[in-house]
């Protein structure tokens, strides 16, 4: 009887221990799941004026979006920063401003974290709307496929635009009828024709002179984004005419253009030649010259380089009107040195052609 009682007590004790261990395991799994989903929910996509900090020690801020650019300063861990525009340059670099001294530059996305984004005033009565044009489309917590899925949307799901800005070149921030917000790839979005998204408040609504150009090579791809990894909108033949949507270079090498049939997209700058610039600007007039440059008016940032090319087989002499602002070598490579305006000229005998550069800091 004694041994039987001791055996029963031992079995009871073992059961209690097993139950406690099982409860601890379930609790651990639950805690991990809560932490994982909390981390996913906490992911923020930077916008203009979003706040953040440097997540590692001795991180370089560079003058351009790549490791080939000069170092502006070296930042310590937890350095406070402000995102200039929230866009990714060359797929991996954010443009930031230091809160301590307003220095601006570029930092790799792996070394910066977002703490808060500025809230936008609610204006639901005037919000633009649209619908999902494909089936089973993911709404994500951030502007990229690496972010968690908020929900899966069916075809013709209605939504309103939180902002008309494209984040990371390809993602819209939207709000569904049930109040959920997130990001959707722009190829799955169709805007309602009755109301276009309002222009982003950070973009001044000022008239821009129409700049036209043409494709200088045959079978050139027009792409949906500023890079060869984006889908092809159409293939353009040599001398196809187009209009520049803006004359800024995206991801250092791509122009945003509109062709004659209304299609828009991006073309690599080496395949785009600008027509003579509209009157009223300060671009040098070399229309009578036999020398033609690949560009006649450009904006570059201090520390960056830009390659000019000239038509013909002659050996040209390259000169700069102000070498303190920008210099040029014998191959037409322009190096921006300080803020200001400068004229770069290619000449051969009595013939010459010039490009006007505006050099900006940051």
150, 171: one domain = yes
225: CATH: 2.30.30.40
Q: Is residue 348 part of a domain?
A: yes
Q: Is residue 24 part of a domain?
A: no
Query: Beta strand 297-301 with 181-185: parallel, antiparallel or unpaired?
Result: unpaired
Q: Is residue 7 part of a domain?
A: no
Total of domains in the chain = 4
| 124-137 exposure pattern, b = at least 16 Cβ within 10 A, e = fewer | eeebbebebeeeeb
Write out the chain's pLDDT in tens, 362 residues.
554 555 555 666 677 767 777 777 766 655 555 455 444 444 678 888 889 999 999 999 998 888 888 888 999 999 999 998 888 888 888 999 998 887 889 999 999 999 888 765 444 435 688 999 888 889 988 888 878 888 999 989 999 988 878 887 788 889 999 889 889 998 899 888 644 444 444 434 334 457 888 898 888 899 888 888 888 888 998 888 998 888 778 877 788 899 988 888 889 888 888 876 444 444 455 555 677 888 888 888 888 888 888 776 567 888 998 888 899 988 888 998 888 888 998 888 888 888 888 888 75
Closest of 178, 180, 132 to residue 157, by C-alpha: 132
355, 296: one domain = yes
308: CATH: 2.60.40.1080
Q: Is residue 137 part of a domain?
A: yes
- Point out the domain boundary residue: 75, 95, 116: 116
Confidence (pTM):
0.31
313, 338: one domain = yes
Q: Is residue 88 part of a domain?
A: yes
187, 151: one domain = yes
Q: Say which residue the tokens 């062709």 belong to.
A: 259
Q: Which domain holds residue 223?
A: 212-274
Q: Is residue 309 part of a domain?
A: yes
Q: Is residue 77 part of a domain?
A: yes
Contact 226, 248 (CB under 8 A): no
Q: Is residue 286 part of a domain?
A: no
Contact 305, 68 (CB under 8 A): no
- Distance from C-alpha of 140 to C-alpha of 153, rounded to nearest angstrom: 11
């Amino acid at each position: 009887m004694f041994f039987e009682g001791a055996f029963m007590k031992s079995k009871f004790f073992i059961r209690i221990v097993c139950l406690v261990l099982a409860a601890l395991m379930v609790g651990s799994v639950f805690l991990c799941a809560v932490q994982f989903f909390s981390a996913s929910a906490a992911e923020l996509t930077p916008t203009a004026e979003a706040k953040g900090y440097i997540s590692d020690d001795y991180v370089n801020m560079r003058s351009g979006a790549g490791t080939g650019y000069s170092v502006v300063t070296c930042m310590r861990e937890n350095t406070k920063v402000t995102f200039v525009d929230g866009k990714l340059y060359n797929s991996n670099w954010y443009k930031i401003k230091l809160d301590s001294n307003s220095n601006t530059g570029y930092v790799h996305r792996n070394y910066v974290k977002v703490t808060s984004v500025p809230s936008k005033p609610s204006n639901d009565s005037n919000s633009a709307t649209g619908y999902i044009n494909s089936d089973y489309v993911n709404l994500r917590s951030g502007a990229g496929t690496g972010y968690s899925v908020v929900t899966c949307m069916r075809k013709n799901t209605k939504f309103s635009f939180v902002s008309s800005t494209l984040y990371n070149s390809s993602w819209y921030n939207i709000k569904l009828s049930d109040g959920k917000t997130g990001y959707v790839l722009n190829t799955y979005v169709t805007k309602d024709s009755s109301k276009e998204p309002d222009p982003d408040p950070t973009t001044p609504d000022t008239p821009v002179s129409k700049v036209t150009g043409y494709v200088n090579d045959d079978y050139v791809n027009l792409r949906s984004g500023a890079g060869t990894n984006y889908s092809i909108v159409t293939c353009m033949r040599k001398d196809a005419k187009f209009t520049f949507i803006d004359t800024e270079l995206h991801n250092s090498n791509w122009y945003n253009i509109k062709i004659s049939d209304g299609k828009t997209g991006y073309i690599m700058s080496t395949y785009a030649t600008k027509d003579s610039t509209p009157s009223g600007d300060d671009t040098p007039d070399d229309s009578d010259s036999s020398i033609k440059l690949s560009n006649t008016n450009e904006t570059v940032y201090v520390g960056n380089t830009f390659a000019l090319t000239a038509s013909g087989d002659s050996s040209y002499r390259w000169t700069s009107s102000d070498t303190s602002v920008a210099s040029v070598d014998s191959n037409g490579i322009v190096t921006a040195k300080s803020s200001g305006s400068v004229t770069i000229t290619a000449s051969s005998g009595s013939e010459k052609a010039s490009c006007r550069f505006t050099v900006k800091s940051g």
